[in-house]
């Protein structure tokens, strides 16, 4: 660091500032101290700077009010990209659409739609019925267990990294007549926390369909497999488009773990 | 480079993350999310924008971590976030926002305490006003000075580390920090009720 010997001369603003940070070399540090000790004006300047530094350092460290996540696989990451990335995002979408996975659920299985009672449901979803999982869908899902790694996300409690929520689906893209099989697990959460789980399929234009939560007899540690029929969701036409599967769990400290997975529905 | 405890602790996690270990990268997220978010927050002002930048920085870091060679993870990560802050200023854009980022499902929100707990309401109001004043004084700085003072006095980085994040010479770091502090001081001193000018102060 260039700090030429300017012994008794007045230290510059830079020198005073770096002096406070102990970022001058030892010689310069001593020279500034020596000068300041005998100079009322520089003492005043240094104290003013020092108070400013304390004021800035006293700013509270704030806690973000959401969790940060990474997609399950690097190159397939899907998100609302900055404008400069649209080309790449469009290409990714194309691959997703081309690679349509035609899925059909068990033909006879029709679940009962329950009424939403969720005070926590997004406003747009309040008047819509919940979509029940298909009967026997846990077996359906279990048979495809290995597929869940293809589209999954994990969110971690920012205050305790051993607590997490993982959501996976068996594909990223579904046909409008398909079945979405999903797998939800939690780590380190209490039964009460895990049972607050809420599931939504949200259109990128804003409206949500709520999926009926797992039945009471779900096993703990929380481990939920279910399949939902896309037609039963009665999505608004045109059905094809980009959606997000959103899974929320209320934690005992009144914060919420939110996991999101992109889904595409094709005609 | 600059030896620091955290860079040594990171090495193992970074090595695993480079091999595609999501769990290792998640631990890095847990470790850096608060300092990174606060850097972004003091740069761009709005919590939502700061969270978007933080999320985008982690995504890009995850995607690019295999290209990370010698540089310490921390300064590399902050460099990504700093670039995103500059992009934000240039284009006034938000990053990584899911369109359903509705507040309805998070209205009870999960802001966990903001530091100074002052029981007396009068004191708390004053503490808030003081905080606001400092925050606004930082916001008034130009971007180059702002990021220098934020990395130094919010994130507590050494000059050499800041130079690595900003890819500028050490002397530039030194002068930006000094000028930023002088400008913040000037603004604070316009409010002698909170920041009295101490004519009677003594040097140590």
Nearest-by-Cβ selection for A37 from B113, B153, B203: B203
Is the pLDDT assigned to residue A231 strictly greater than 90? no
Q: What is the pLDDT of residue B172?
A: 97
pLDDT in tens, B88-138: 988 754 443 333 333 333 332 333 333 333 445 566 676 788 899 999 999
Q: How confident is the model at residue A45 (pLDDT cuts 50, 70, 90)?
A: very high
Global pTM value = 0.54
Domain B5-91 has CATH 1.10.1740.10: yes
Average pLDDT of chain A is: 71
Distance from CA of A182 to the nearest CA of B (A): 20
> Is there a contact between B201 and A69 if contact means CB atoms under 8 Å apart?
no
Q: How far is CA B113 from CA A18, A253, B117, in A?
A: 32, 12, 8
**In B, which residues are within 8 Å of A256 by CB distance?**
105-106, 108, 110
Which residues from chain A sit within 8 angstroms of residue B26, using beta carbons?
Answer: 70, 154, 156, 161, 164
Residue A76: predicted pLDDT = 37
For chain B, give every domain's residue range. Answer: 5-91, 123-198
Q: Tell me if residue A266 falls in helix, strand or coil.
A: strand
Q: What is the pLDDT of residue A80?
A: 34
Please name the CATH architecture into which domain A83-266 falls.
Sandwich (2.60)
Best A48, A160, A161 residue to mutate vs chain B (most B CBs within 10 Å): A48
Q: Has residue A3 got a pLDDT over 60?
A: no
Identify all chain A residues contacting B29, using CB atoms and an 8 Å cutoff.
68-70, 156
* Fold: same for B5-91 and B123-198: no
B27 contacts in A (CB within 8 Å)? 161
Percent of chain A whose pLDDT exceeds 90: 20
- Check: complex ipTM more than 0.90: no
CB spacing of A154 vs B26 below 8 angstroms: yes
B159: chain A residues, CB-CB within 8 Å: 18, 21, 23
Provide DSSP, A56-107.
HHTSPPPPPSS-----SSSTT------GGGHHHHHHHHHHHHHT-------T
Tokens representing residue A7 in the block: 């012994």
pLDDT in tens, A182-205: 888 888 887 777 777 888 888 876
In CATH, the architecture of B123-198 is Orthogonal Bundle (1.10)
Does residue A221 have a cis peptide bond before it, meaning omega lies within 30 degrees of 0? yes
pLDDT at residue A138 is higher than 90: no
pLDDT higher at B157 or A132: B157
Tokens 């995504």 belong to residue: B59
The distance of A62 to chain B (nearest Cα, Å) reads 5
Boundaries of every domain in chain A: 13-57, 83-266
Residues B24-82: tens digit of each pLDDT: 999 999 999 999 999 999 999 999 999 999 999 999 999 999 888 777 999 999 999 99
């Amino acid at each position: 660091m260039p700090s030429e010997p300017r012994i008794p001369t007045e230290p510059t603003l830079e020198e005073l500032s770096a002096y406070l940070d102990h970022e001058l070399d030892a010689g310069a540090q001593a020279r500034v101290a020596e000068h300041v000790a005998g100079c009322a004006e520089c003492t005043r300047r240094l104290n003013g700077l020092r108070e400013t530094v304390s004021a800035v350092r006293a700013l509270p460290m704030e806690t973000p009010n959401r969790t940060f996540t990474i997609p399950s696989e690097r190159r397939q990451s899907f998100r609302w990209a900055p404008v400069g990335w649209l080309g790449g995002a469009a290409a990714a979408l194309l691959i997703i659409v081309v690679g349509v996975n035609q899925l059909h659920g068990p033909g006879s299985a029709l679940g009962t739609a329950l009424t939403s009672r969720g005070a926590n449901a997004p406003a747009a979803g309040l008047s819509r019925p919940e979509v029940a999982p298909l009967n026997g869908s846990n077996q359906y899902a279990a048979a495809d267990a290995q597929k869940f790694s293809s589209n999954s996300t994990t969110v971690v409690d920012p205050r305790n990294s051993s607590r997490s929520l993982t959501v996976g689906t068996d594909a990223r893209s579904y046909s409008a007549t398909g079945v979405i099989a999903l797998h939800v697990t939690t780590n380190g959460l209490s039964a009460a926390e895990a049972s607050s789980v809420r599931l939504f399929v949200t259109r990128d234009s804003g409206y949500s369909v709520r999926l009926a939560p797992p039945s009471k007899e779900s096993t703990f540690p929380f481990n939920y497999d279910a399949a939902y029929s896309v037609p039963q969701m009665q999505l608004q036409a045109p059905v094809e488009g980009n959606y997000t599967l959103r899974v929320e769990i209320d934690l005992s400290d009144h914060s919420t773990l939110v996991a999101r997975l992109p889904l595409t529905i094709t005609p | 480079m600059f030896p620091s405890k955290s860079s040594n602790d990171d090495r193992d996690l970074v090595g695993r993350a480079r091999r595609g270990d999501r769990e290792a990268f998640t631990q890095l997220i847990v470790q850096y999310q608060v300092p990174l978010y606060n850097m972004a927050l003091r740069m761009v002002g709005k919590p939502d924008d700061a969270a978007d930048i933080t999320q985008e920085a982690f995504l890009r870091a995850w995607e690019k971590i295999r290209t990370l060679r010698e540089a310490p993870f921390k300064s590399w990560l902050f460099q990504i976030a700093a670039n995103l802050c500059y992009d934000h200023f240039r284009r006034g854009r938000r990053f990584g926002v899911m369109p359903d980022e509705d507040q309805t499902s998070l209205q009870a929100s999960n802001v966990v305490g903001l530091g100074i707990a002052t029981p007396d309401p009068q004191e708390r109001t004053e503490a808030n006003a003081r905080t606001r004043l400092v925050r606004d004084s930082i916001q008034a700085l130009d971007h180059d000075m702002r990021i220098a003072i934020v990395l130094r006095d919010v994130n507590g980085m050494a000059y050499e580390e800041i130079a690595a994040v900003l890819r500028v010479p050490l002397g530039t770091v030194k002068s930006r920090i000094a000028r930023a502090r002088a400008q913040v001081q000037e603004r604070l001193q316009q409010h002698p009720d909170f920041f009295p000018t101490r004519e009677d102060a003594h040097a140590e």
